[in-house]
Amino acid sequence: MTSTTGTTGTTTAGTVCPHCGWPDGAEPFQVVSRHNTAAGRTVWTRCGCGSLQVRMIDDRGMRIVSRGRPAVPQSSPASR
């Protein structure tokens, strides 16, 4: 996994995932994709609890601009 840490001016200090409490400024559990944009870089990550997050990295630092809920485990046909 590649880190998104090390950016200067991180604006997520003190904020945490509302679903599991993982610090937003910490290493993401999984990087899903990265995209360069005119404003900087967009990084889609998945938290340890399964919440999908969109992180914006630019000259102001890193911030989470969108966050989904953790995925609900799917029941298997055998358990129905």
35-53 tens-digit pLDDT = 999 999 999 999 989 999 9
Q: 79 — phi, psi (to 5°)?
A: -90, 0
- Residues in the chain, how many? 80
Put simply, whether the predicted model's pTM sits higher than 0.75 gets the answer: no
Q: pLDDT band at residue 76, thresholds of 50, 70 and 90?
A: low
